[in-house]
Structure 1
Amino acid sequence: MTVVALRLAGPLQAWGSRSRFVRRETEKAPTKSGVIGMVAAAKGIRRTDPLEELADLRFGVRIDQPGQLLRDFQTAQRPKKEKDGTTSWSSLPLSQRYYVSDAVFLAVLEGERRLVEDIDEAVRSPEFPLYLGRRSCPPAGPVALGVFDSGLEEALATLPWMAGTRRQQRHRANTVRLTTVRDAHPDETDGELVQDIPVSFDPNRRQYAWRTITRGTVEIDNPHGTAEKAEEHDPMASLGG
């Protein structure tokens, strides 16, 4: 199979799957619906257009830099014309919006080569602006990492660590263990169900289907690791001639 890899990094990201009314939550890692929505924007797909081709792609994400959960309180006022011609203001309900700050993720989509290459090209020259979950969350730096002849699992386990240089230097160890979240295979029965497959982004009838995910870890080289490998102890060395 073929995959397209994306680097999702920015001051703020918001990948909600349970947002309701005045409480807008975020997951700790990008959702499939959020990434597919970003790809759809890059390709110029309208909210009312069909999404089957994109939704059928296998999806996985690696948490290269977890970031911090941030809560923001927001309120607004609505103008109202009075009978005497003056304007009064009424406050709207206080809303709570959650974000992940200073995070870096590797997102991978696996599918047929033609579609994967189209996605890579679209993300490099998008029809609509790209956002990391919400319009207030633009990406920092290029998103597209390229197309690779590998499967989803292989890409998550082999592509370089995407965290910032300072974080890699502070880690010091020569390797790092990173968490992954990916679409489960049909024969994997111990997965977790999430309502995260976009069926329609139409504002009048948003609809999402269920998918099964599996969580795991991979060990990736740290290019800025400085830890020296411990020499293997030989208890017989002192007896040598």
Structure 2
Amino acid sequence: MSVLLLQLAGPLQAWGSSARFARRTTEPAPTKSGVIGLLAAALGRDRSHDPVDLAALRFGVRVDQRGVPIRDYQTAHHFETGKSMPVSERFYLADAVFVAALEGPDDLIDELHQAVRRPTYLPYLGRRSCPPSRPLDLGIREDGDIEQALKREDWRASRWHQRRHREPTVRLETIIEATADDGPVDSIRDQPLSFDPTHRRYALRGIRHGYVEVPNPAAPQPSDHDPIAVLGGE
């Protein structure tokens, strides 16, 4: 088993798990269905392809830069009649950065890694209007599980965000796939069963919230300057 790490950073992101009709919400962190959809597109699969192999991967995410929720309104008209359609209310995360991790068989993880590096279809962060601003590829980790990979990975927040923190380490939230055997878990309906536009289906999935401490590369470094050295010794 190995772990594929992805960097999800962009001006806007949108990860819906319960969006319906004219109100399109976003979760505060990437969903498994959204990231699996991104990987399926990178592989060149169409929406009717059965996602069972990708859905079996264990999924986790680390919140490196939480971002700011914003709301947008969109209007549209029917092409043929010119009649106005209902106003669409859409929510996004602005300036967010996440590290996503997928754990699974070595051969499948390697195939996904190659697809991320040379995608068939361009990736987007939840919606087509949300392109990534950085390379997705953070490589494969073969010396541990998702928990260890997210704990060891460098802090990927923007430099300006890192400079806001003076401490040598920062505490980052993790959201990792779990079962009842792992203890108390929450649930989210983002386990993909079908991406077919005529019959999209998602199941509940267990998740566990936690935290990891990682170094802050922008923290002020201790100085060896001695202001009284010029006074000399006895």
- Given the two structures, how large is their TM-score scaled by the length of structure 1? 0.89
Q: Which residue of the partner structure matches residue 227 of structure 2? A: none
Q: 1:129 aligns with which of 107, 122, 128?
A: 122
AA in 1 matched with 2:156 = M
Q: Which residue of the partner structure matches residue 232 of structure 2? A: none
Q: Which residue of the partner structure matches residue 190 of structure 1? A: 184
User: Which whole-Å CA distance do the structure 1 matches of 2:185 and 2:139 have between them?
Assistant: 29
User: Which whole-Å CA distance do the structure 2 matches of 1:138 and 1:162 have between them?
Assistant: 17
User: Which whole-Å CA distance do the structure 1 matches of 2:180 and 2:88 have between them?
Assistant: 39
Q: 1:116 aligns with which of 88, 109, 119?
A: 109
User: Which whole-Å CA distance do the structure 2 matches of 1:201 and 1:185 have between them?
Assistant: 24
Shift of 1:78: 2.4
Q: Which residue of the partner structure matches residue 232 of structure 1? A: none
Shift of 1:187: 1.2
The alignment partner of 1:170 has SS state of coil
Contact 2:5–2:138 (CA<8 Å) still a contact in 1?
yes
* 1:178-223 deviation per Cα after TM superposition (whole angstroms, max 9, x unaligned): 0000101451231011111101000111011111000011000011
Q: Which runs of 5+ in 1 are unaligned?
A: 82-88, 230-241
> RMSD between aligned alpha carbons?
1.4
User: Which whole-Å CA distance do the structure 2 matches of 1:62 and 1:18 have between them?
Assistant: 21
Contact 1:172–1:227 (CA<8 Å) still a contact in 2?
no
Q: Which runs of 5+ in 2 are unaligned?
A: 224-234
Q: Which residue of the partner structure matches residue 134 of structure 2? A: 141
The alignment partner of 1:209 has SS state of strand
1:1-241 equivalence runs, <5 A: 1-80=1-80, 89-149=82-142, 150-226=144-220, 228=222
User: Which whole-Å CA distance do the structure 1 matches of 2:56 and 2:26 have between them?
Assistant: 23
User: Which whole-Å CA distance do the structure 2 matches of 1:208 and 1:221 have between them?
Assistant: 37
Contact 2:179–2:185 (CA<8 Å) still a contact in 1?
no
Contact 2:4–2:139 (CA<8 Å) still a contact in 1?
yes
| Aligned residue pair count | 222
Contact 2:18–2:189 (CA<8 Å) still a contact in 1?
no
Shift of 1:170: 1.8
User: Which whole-Å CA distance do the structure 1 matches of 2:79 and 2:57 have between them?
Assistant: 45
AA in 1 matched with 2:43 = K
Contact 1:41–1:129 (CA<8 Å) still a contact in 2?
yes
User: Which whole-Å CA distance do the structure 2 matches of 1:146 and 1:186 have between them?
Assistant: 30
Shift of 1:148: 0.7
AA in 2 matched with 1:139 = P
User: Which whole-Å CA distance do the structure 2 matches of 1:209 and 1:78 have between them?
Assistant: 33
User: Which whole-Å CA distance do the structure 2 matches of 1:93 and 1:227 have between them?
Assistant: 55
**Greater Rg over alpha carbons, structure:** 1
AA in 2 matched with 1:162 = R
AA in 1 matched with 2:189 = Q
Identity of aligned residues (%): 50
